[in-house]
Amino acid sequence: MGKYGDWFVMIVAGGLIVFWLYTRFYRWLHTPSGTGLILLQDGMELDDDDEYVRLLESEGYIVSSGKHRIPIRIGLDEEVLHSRLYIDYVAEKNGSLFIVKSARDRMPIDWTGSGVRDRLLVYALLVPYCAGVLFVDIKEKQIRTITFHINEQ
């Protein structure tokens, strides 16, 4: 190859490195801050005799993890408040991931558009790659699938 061939390879390699650095910087520069996704991988262990897990599995869902605690910091004027959201289970069916919320006696859900939105939309927005939210009522032996479709106008 000779003396000029070595220089040619070095220039091409340097050009590729500069191109890679430019694209990484461009992507970093144009990504909005706070776009970190919630990864649902470190949930609590599942209990073998859990009624909710048995009901979900009887309907064909595969329950992959238990309760997830997601901490939230809230800025209120000059004060910082702390809160958290709980996801009861994460289930999968036909390659689609679902967030599972269980019914609570002390927090009944209003099955109207605004009631479902106020209680469950936050979970669909928190985990945008999920297919929907499953609301499991163990007393009624019922699983309701909630999906949200936001229309752009």
Shared domain for 13 and 86, answered yes or no, is no
Residue 41 counted as domain residue: no
Give the tens place of pLDDT for each residue, 35-54: 555 556 667 778 778 899 99
Shared domain for 132 and 93, answered yes or no, is yes
Shared domain for 31 and 76, answered yes or no, is no
pTM across the whole model:
0.69
User: What are the tokens at 146?
Assistant: 């909630």
Shared domain for 75 and 24, answered yes or no, is no
Residue 83 clears pLDDT 90, i.e. is over it: yes
Residue 100: which domain range?
51-146
Please give the torsion angle defined by the CA atoms of residues 128, 130, 132 and 138, in that order, rounded to the nearest 10 degrees. -130
Of 98, 90, 84, 91, nearest in space to 43 by CA: 90
Give, in degrees to the nearest 5, the angle at Cα 43 between 38 and 44: 160
Residue 91 counted as domain residue: yes
